[in-house]
Amino acid sequence: MDIRWYGHASFRLLPKAGPVIITDPYLPELVGYAPIPDPADIVVISSTDDDGHCREDLVPDNHAVVDALDVALNGGSRVVDGLTFNAMEAMEYEHHPEHAVPGQNAMYRFELDGIRIAHMGDVGNRLTSAQMEFFEDVDILLALTGDALTIKLPDLMEMIHRMRPRIVIPMHFRTLAYKPQRGAWIEAFLAHFRADQIDYALGCDVTVWKADIPDETRVLVMDYHRSAADSGTKIPARVGV
């Protein structure tokens, strides 16, 4: 499976077999990242009213849309294009400077190429036991690591230590493009891990096979997609190498 990070909480997951998925597309002017140039079969949104997480209309061409919050509020599971999506309700950071009332959103998970993937949406609080258990047996965790405006790093680490995802891919942290007030750079999250637990993609694309999934938690740091000129550029990385 090929994974591309556009920036913020948006990824493209391109499996060897199955639908192409894009997660949480954003409004470029809001978050500072380039427009998403690639099409998808399915676009998943964690919110319907947050331009940092819901702009499926900006993904090119026709695609199915999975509203993860709607899934969470209506049974917690839905099959789209033969793929099962599970979701759990969450809330934004309660002191969000741009929202007077914390908005609802959802965390979600699905499986591609035999790899179990979970996305943390835009959760802004310490997870309940039920929310933590939602991440049980996850191979790849797309994790909110910016500390400000989302879950705090100590609370995130509590979940990681308890649920032990095999690969953690950081997202929603401060970069040269995305600069929220008090937002943490990636180093704040990486400080919780030994140097030999961290892999660097050195680009916005990685390839992960089922055989790459480690027994113990590792962190895979990706760079963000710069522009349409990056499309088709592949800089593969293998976990643990």
Just give the CATH number of 2-229. Answer: 3.60.15.10
Write the pLDDT tens digit of every residue in 174-214.
Answer: 999 999 888 999 999 999 999 999 999 989 999 999 998 99
Q: Quote the distance between the C-alpha of residue 47 and its chain's center.
A: 13
Nearest-angstrom CA–CA distance, 58 and 145: 25
> Residue type for 193, please?
F
Q: Which two tokens stand for residue 115?
A: 């790899």
Q: Quote the distance between the C-alpha of residue 170 and its chain's center.
A: 8
Nearest-angstrom CA–CA distance, 140 and 119: 9
pTM assigned to the model:
0.92
Burial class (CB in 10 A: 0-12, 13-18, 19+), 7: buried
Write the pLDDT tens digit of every residue in 7-62.
Answer: 999 999 999 999 999 999 999 999 999 999 999 999 999 999 999 999 999 999 99
For 42, how many CA atoms within 13 A lie in the half-sphere containing its CB? 21
Q: Quote the distance between the C-alpha of residue 228 and its chain's center.
A: 21
DSSP states of 16-77: SSS--EEES---HHHH-PPPP----SEEEES-SS-TTT--GGGSSS--EEEEHHHHHHTTSE
Q: Quote the distance between the C-alpha of residue 97 and its chain's center.
A: 22
Nearest-angstrom CA–CA distance, 138 and 134: 9
Write the pLDDT tens digit of every residue in 94-110.
Answer: 655 565 566 899 999 99
What's the CA dihedral at 30, 111, 105, 9 to 10 degrees?
-20
- From the list 6, 31, 3, 32, the residue with the least C-alpha distance to 15 is 3
CB 2 within 8 A of CB 205: yes
| Measured CA distances, 206 to 3, 50, 194, 229 (Å) | 5, 27, 21, 17
Nearest-angstrom CA–CA distance, 100 and 39: 34
Name the H helices within 134-215. Answer: 153-163, 186-190
Question: pLDDT at residue 159 above 60?
Answer: yes
pLDDT of residue 228: 56
For 45, phi and psi rounded to 5 degrees? -120, 140
